[in-house]
Amino acid sequence: MSELENKIPVTILTGFLGSGKTTLINYVLKAFHGKKVAVIENEFGEVAVDNDLIVDAGQEIFETQNGCVPCTLVSPHSYNSKVRGDLVRILHELIEQKRGKFDMVLIETTGLADPGPVVQTFFMDKTVQDAFQIDAIVTMVDAKHFQQHLDSEELQQQLAFADRLILNKIDLVPEEADQKDLIANLSAINPSAQVIKSQFGQVSLDEILNIRGFDLEKVLDREPEFLRNDEACDDNDCHDAAHNHSHKRHDISVTSVGIYLPGELDFDLLNGWVQSLLASSGQNIYRMKGILNVKGEEDRFVFQGVHMMFDGQQDRAWRPDEDRTNRMVFIGKDLDREVLTNSFKSCICFKPAIVVYSLPRQEAKRCIQNVIPATQPAENNGHRHRNQFRCDSATTILQASTCSFAFGKRYLDVILLNFQRLLFHGESGYECDIARNDHAGRNVYECFAKRDSIFIH
């Protein structure tokens, strides 16, 4: 067996934000091709989402930690940084611990990455170089949107490095003549790469895997400095031949805002929010994606947006032990973190709550209003209840000492079923009031303690 045949083939999958890389990976993993694939994911964005969107096909999935592998590779300082180390570490781990358990490696680079530095990794670490062989660089191209990002240095590099260009999303450019124009544009940028048309990444796997398409000589012809392991110069106007200009940082005006938000989302509010967000800032939001917990749904809701196009779909069911925190990431220009976070928060369904307090009524009301504004005395059939307050339609505040009897006798089931949150007011005193058994013999306080309780002091 030749040395080349002994090496593990690596496919580097690149492509601009939202072009369909994850879609292609899922297609590859689901398609029968008799190969075990180790997938390495690298995301740009504060909140990791992609690794969770890869189908569970019994494959090994690795994730490089935070940020952008390529842009941390550009200087010697960052070359040794943790993120860069991550990719090498994962490759070493594959060789040392998983050898024989996979046949090929698929690396998904971030949509904002120049793939060059990832490629360099395979020539700069001896162990990696001995074990792996880049098979091909496959670049996904979003047929609808790629032309509007052609001034991006990263996209140009992604196109230039490609051994195969997949012109994806052709369903969004249905006219044959338009498709021909796009192919001609791509071929002008990279004449040596074969262009393959696709919809949702469905391509013949023989055309992209194990094709031995990568040719270092071709890269060096284009970029003679490619394998120079010295600090890259970031100055776009610098023409000093002594400097390494082979790779530049990505456009720093493109940033990411990631949001973790506990709670259940109201679907209608979510829908309205997305529409108004895109109407006001759609031009600047290149990419949105999220895994969301929509009220009343047992399945995860996966939200995807690429420029003005968005869709949401039910995904697999939430696992019983899974944290249902909503995860959302935005990537784009001039993103306003506060506006995005607060507007996203406004889609959360109000959690019904019950507040139990042990202070005199007026004092308790003042304290509670600090925590929950708009607290009003509760009304029932037009009558005000002395010891109950209503913050809004879903929150009831009860005084522990006076309501404990009612809890015990009549209301426990109603409370446990209808109130997700229990706000206790006061440090002590009320526990004994409600530490009694209800009519079914259950300890009321213990039942409450299992709820999502908040203590207001």
Residue nearest to ligand GTP (CB): 111
Asked if 199 interacts with ligand GTP (CB under 6 A), we say yes
* Site stretch for ligand GTP (CB under 6 A), options 130-138, 163-171, 267-275, 444-452: 163-171
Stretch that binds ligand GTP, among 55-63, 91-99, 169-177, 260-268 (CB under 6 A): 169-177
Nearer to ligand GTP (CB atom), residue 302 or residue 444: 302
- Structure-block tokens of residue 355: 């507040």
Q: Is 250 in the site for ligand GTP (CB under 6 A)?
A: no
- Answer yes or no whether residue 158 interacts with ligand GTP by CB under 6 A: no
**Of the residues 14, 19, 133, 246, which one makes contact with ligand GTP according to CB under 6 A:** 19
Neighbours of 397 (CB within 10 A): 28
CB of 110 to ligand GTP, least distance (A): 7
Nearer to ligand GTP, 17 or 423 (CB): 17
Q: Which has the closest alpha carbon to 168: 195, 199, 135? A: 199
**Choice from 9, 12, 14, 21 touching ligand GTP (CB under 6 A):** 21
Q: Is 23 in the site for ligand GTP (CB under 6 A)?
A: yes
Q: Which residues of 60-75 are buried (b: 16+ CB within 10 A; e: fewer)?
A: bbbbbebbbbbbbbbb
Q: In terms of DSSP bridges, do strands 326-333 and 285-292 run parallel, antiparallel, or are they unpaired? A: antiparallel
Q: Which range of residues in 83-91, 194-202, 268-276, 384-392 is near ligand GTP by CB under 6 A? A: 194-202
| Residue 131 CB contacts under 8 Å (≥ 6 apart), including other chains | 7, 8, 91, 95
| Binding span for ligand GTP by CB under 6 A among 78-86, 164-172, 292-300, 345-353 | 164-172
Does the footprint of ligand GTP cover residue 168 (CB under 6 A)? yes
Gap between the Cα atoms of 119 and 138, Å rounded: 12
Binding residue for ligand GTP, selected from 287, 300, 307, 327, defined by CB under 6 A: 287
CA angle 451, 454, 456 (to 5 degrees): 150
The residues with which 11 forms a beta bridge, in sequence order, are: 106, 136
CA nearest neighbour of 234 among 75, 66, 8, 88: 75
Q: Pick the stretch among 10-18, 60-68, 188-196, 384-392 that binds ligand GTP (CB under 6 A).
A: 10-18
Rule CB under 6 A: say whether 111 interacts with ligand GTP: yes
Pairing of the two strands 383-392 and 376-380: antiparallel
Q: How far is CA 350 from CA 125, 344, 421, in A?
A: 53, 13, 10
Task: For 1-145, list the strands marked E by DSSP.
Answer: 8-15, 37-42, 60-64, 104-108, 132-142
CB 10 within 8 A of CB 132: yes
Minimum CB–partner distance for residue 331 and ligand GTP (Å): 7
Q: Residues in the site for ligand GTP, rule: CB under 6 A?
A: 15, 17-23, 50, 111, 140, 168-169, 171-172, 199-201, 287, 289, 304, 306, 311
